[in-house]
Amino acid sequence: MTDSVADHTEHRLHGRRRFLAGAATLAGAGLFLPTALASTTPTRAARAAAGTPQWRPTVHFTPAENWMNDPNGLVFHEGEYHLFFQHNPYSTEHANLSWGHAVSTDLVRWDELDVALEPDELGEIYSGSAVVDHRNTSGFFDGVEPGLVAFYTSAGETQQQSIAYSRDRGRTWTKFDGNPVIANPGIEDFRDPKVIWDEPSGQWVLLLAVDDHIAFYRSPNLRDWDLVSEFGAGRGAHGGVWECPDLFELPVAGTEESRWVLIVSINPGGPAGGSATQYFLGDFDGTTFVPHDEPDTVLWAELGADFYAAQSWSDIPASDGRRLWIGWLSNWDYTKQVPTEPWRGAMTVPREVGLVDTDEGPRLTQRPVQELESARGPVRRWSGTVSDEGSVVEYSGAALDVVADFTVDSAAMFGIDVFVGERSRTRVGYDVRAGELFVDRTGAGSADPGSGYRARHAAPLDTEDGVLRLRLLIDRSTVEVFAADGRVVLTDLVLRDGGDILRPFAEDGRVQLNSLEVYPIEA
């Protein structure tokens, strides 16, 4: 959560919104208008469908209206995935921040609910996390089923940490009358609490972003917290303020080892400019995080421009076994100028994260969750030779799930052009000589929020014996590219000029397209 605190006003948002298939509809809006106005004032449903629907994604969550940034409070509870998020319920401007709220049973189709947490006398509601208090350590759930406890930053004159709890599956919330539970010790940037359960000690651990490092706290009851360690001095990237920490343990695929993964977002200082998400690998004993990599090692979750503030879901059942997360699909360099209406901001698709062993040591992988395949329509397939001479196959669609398998031949560059129109094109390609995968949105369209938006973003990538396999999710205004079994990922916001053609390409030679599968996204 960045930027200055704005004056908050007393408002209340009523209603329940449904996000599905690229449009948002409202049910039970709870608005009572004079008869003379009822026939002339657009409903929220109508406003949600107006504005710039050509950029409203299909399976990437967006609020029906107004501003959104960081994912917050990700928790699985009683069959529902909860997605809270930084939200201004009243404007597309970044101010009056609250926690918006959406739920899903399948990670694809989301119901947007009432605003969960609104500003109060302690300030706006900045980023944080949520957990299920299975053991009632907090004492909030005596005589009732385990409930949810949310941790957030109260951003008023200072940034302090507060909690709220829910006994009805997150539909209503009560703020703790003892807030703040962690007072500000005199530090300007002191925010974004992430809470996890430490099973060996039977206590809770809270991570907090404090200026340029992470502070670790412990508590037996979610109310009383003690500072126990700090991490970050001389480690990782420090081009900007540290934000939105996360911590979880993952097995290293193909080995008997595991690593703790510490997530830290940073703004500015990202590899594509502006904001980005870095990670550290090491050990955690419930008190202290000890990194394995050398002090000057910087590991980025990805090298695209639009993946920030990534957070993972807590309380995923052990029978599932996955670590799932989601990120904000934007960049602080230009997000305030993104011309979408009546909303501003989107999430990535949910992803499964893992670790794989490499020559440099374990490294992070990300793959779209398998549930997204339920949004696929009938497949269209093609295979053949693609060259810079002659015609090539084309497919139409602004929301497509694409799987491609290439074998390198004589072409110096090859890949897939998406969002192709008369005067626009976004190129997802592989540069053979440079050995890098890239997304080039410099010719994406006439819309330009500025501050580095028009750019080409690339990541080093070696083919596997000359074979390159790609998964592309293109969704009206988003491009997510996954390669090397998820080790290389690029995410970019793309404000297309109405183009909806997809076609393979090759430059300075030819490439063999062994298989191309194109699925329309029909969530």
Distances (CA, A) of 480 to 41, 57, 207, 307, 486: 38, 12, 29, 10, 11
What is the bridge-based pairing of β-strands 241-253 and 351-358? Answer: parallel
Q: Give the side-chain half-sphere CA count within 13 A for 440.
A: 17
Q: Coil, helix or strand for 156?
A: coil
Nearest partner of 193 among 181, 177, 175, 176, judged by Cα: 181
**Contact status, residue 100 vs residue 86, Cβ threshold 8 Å:** yes
Distances (CA, A) of 495 to 89, 346, 398, 446, 449: 24, 13, 12, 8, 9
**Contact status, residue 132 vs residue 77, Cβ threshold 8 Å:** yes
d(CA 151, CA 162): 6
Rg (CA), the chain: 23
Of residues 3, 7, 70, 359, which has the active-site annotation? 70
d(CA 290, CA 295): 11
Q: Coil, helix or strand for 450?
A: coil
Per the annotation, the verdict on 70 as an active-site residue is yes
Nearest partner of 513 among 475, 478, 469, judged by Cα: 469
d(CA 388, CA 391): 9
Catalytic residues: 70
